[in-house]
Amino acid sequence: MGAVRSVATASPVTPAAQPADVAVVVPMHNEGSVVGLVVSDLRRVFDLVVCVDDGSTDDSADVARRAGAQVVQHAVNLGQGAALQTGFAHVLARTGADYVVTFDADGQHAVDDAARMVATARAGAYDVVLGSRFLLPDAEVPRGRRVLLRAATAVTRRTTGLRLTDTHNGLRVFTRRAAEGLDLRLGGMAHASELLTHVARHGLRYCEVPVVVTYTDYSRSKGQSSLNAVNIMFELAMHRMYAQS
Amino acid sequence: MMIKVVLLAALAVMLVSAVRSRSPRHLAVRRMAAALLAVGGALAVLFPDAVTSVAHVVGVGRGTDLVLYLFIVASTFMWLGVNRRLLELDSRLARLVRSQALAEASRATEDAPVGTLR
């Protein structure tokens, strides 16, 4: 069933080509201007879209709901890692989904890629399928962003031992079993490394799939500044220190 | 100089206590340290010259300097304690907000079961 996917997205007339055993989790924080489009795009292919509104002060939740998503709302902002964890918890408790996709709310991911990754998880019996923007030969990644991501990837590779090319990509697919084991505690962007630490520690079967990341002015303004690399490292170090408690 | 040993040892203890988990024993140590600090402070107020003598014993020139060093050490301990407490509070807040969010969402989906959402 994996091969049908790209055809289905190419003709938007065809409704929900994905089987209903996939849930898409979209963490969002003040993304009202773009999340509607992201959700309706997703809904063409995926039945179940869960938006986790991380204490937005704009109309993100209403926009997402109108576009056809289930919305889970944090009363206050907790950070993307916490939002993802809430999304996983909701999907596991309230749906029977066998696969959970994580998808950024700012429109930088392609729905085709998500569908392809689900197909990969199905076919290859992987627990975790990760998107990588660096596996495409002509990937257009802004220079500053590239340097930051390379550094973060190098560190994460060292600490986890996973052979990956892009450790901070928001597009991922988890099997239900893999999602059940997750307990993300780090609020900031360090959850990406935390997630991979989990994959390494539990010996989950993983693979990377090339995906397109579209850099718009919007996603760039919402994205990580280079100084955030320092924050990621710090949060990770703190996490190590307090891991035992 | 003895003061270097004392201060470095204090820093080492700080690092270790930051990493180790909070236990009743840990709390007892903190309380004893606080009591010691209070008694020491009172003595220093009553007998200012004694501070200078103690400073000389551990190799510090003036009593004022010794007080400053100990103040820095003590406030760093406090900063670590507060920071740790904040991290704990953060994770409690996350759990609270999450359970509230999930409860609310499940109420919403009970009204409109999965699949009928448009």
Q: Which pLDDT belongs to residue B74?
A: 85
Q: Does residue A118 carry a pLDDT above 70?
A: yes
Find residues 156-195 of chain A whose CB sits inside 8 Å of chain B.
Answer: 185, 187
Contacts of A168 (CB under 8 A, 6+ apart): A149, A152, A153, A189, A192, A224
Assigned token pair, B100: 């509230």
Cβ–Cβ contact B86 with A under 8 A: no
Q: What value does the mean pLDDT of chain B take?
A: 81
Q: Which residues of B touch A187 (CB under 8 A)?
A: 90, 94
Buried b (16+ CB within 10 A) or exposed e, A133-159: bbeeeeeebeeebeebbeebbebbeee
Q: For residues A177 and A78, is the Cβ–Cβ distance under 8 A?
A: no
Of A76, A94, A245, Cβ closest to residue B109:
A94
Distance from CA of A242 to the nearest CA of B (A): 6
Cβ–Cβ contact A73 with B under 8 A: yes
Place of tokens 């009204």: B111
Place of tokens 């103690």: B54
Q: Which pLDDT belongs to residue A88?
A: 96
Cβ–Cβ contact B92 with A under 8 A: no
Q: Which residues of B touch A20 (CB under 8 A)?
A: 115
pLDDT band with cut points at 50, 70 and 90 for residue A78: very high
Q: Which pLDDT belongs to residue B21?
A: 57
Q: Among the listed ranges A39-53, A76-90, A153-167, B57-71, which one has the minimum average pLDDT value?
A: A153-167
Q: Which pLDDT belongs to residue B39?
A: 85
Percent of chain A topping pLDDT 90: 52
Q: What value does the mean pLDDT of chain A take?
A: 83
Tens of pLDDT, residue by residue over A30-68, are 999 999 999 999 999 999 999 999 999 999 999 999 999
Q: Which residues of chain B have pLDDT under 70?
A: 18-23, 109-118
Find residues 11-40 of chain B whose CB sits inside 8 Å of chain A.
Answer: 18-22
Give the distance from CA B6 to its chain's centroid: 19
pTM attached to this predicted model: 0.76
Q: Which residues of B touch A73 (CB under 8 A)?
A: 101, 104-105
